[in-house]
Amino acid sequence: MRTVYPLARYRNPGAAIEWLGKAFGFEEHEISRDEAGTVKHAELVVGTGMIMLGAGDPAGPGVYIAVDDPDAHHDRAVAAGARVTMELTDQSYGSREYACEDPEGNLWYFGTYRP
């Protein structure tokens, strides 16, 4: 594994980005929007740290872990009983990734992120 990123989903990611900047001092690093202008993926930085966020139903915080081979990682997780919540997907921002829940319902995201 290469890097770990905290991750959050918001119903209104644009408003969340603005609020996180005002409240906690986060600055925009990169924003990826769809054709309608909705934020699909965002990277916010503060100091040397970074969080990722995107559009979606908030299900609590998650963790994104960059891996070299998401397909092999996916197969290993499934064999261990992980419940896949997002199948392997090639994202518009360049990552191949999937998401799953652990036995206690915590969300985990794995992908190439920056291939």
- What tokens appear for 85 in the block? 């919540």
Distances (CA, A) of 89 to 97, 109, 111, 113: 5, 11, 9, 11
The string of pLDDT tens digits covering residues 66-109 is 889 999 999 999 998 889 999 999 998 889 999 998 776 778 88
Distances (CA, A) of 66 to 76, 78, 111: 15, 18, 5
Q: Which residues of 38-68 are buried (b: 16+ CB within 10 A; e: fewer)?
A: ebbbbbbeeeeeebbbbbeeeeeebebbbbe
User: Can you give the pLDDT at residue 29?
Assistant: 96
- What tokens appear for 95 in the block? 């990552």
Please give the DSSP secondary-structure letter assigned to residue 7.
E
User: Can you give the pLDDT at residue 1?
Assistant: 59
> pTM to 2 decimals?
0.69
What domains sit in the chain, N to C, each tagged with a CATH number? 3-111 (3.10.180.10)
Percent of the chain with pLDDT over 90: 43
Q: In the chain, where does DSSP find H-type helix?
A: 13-24, 70-79
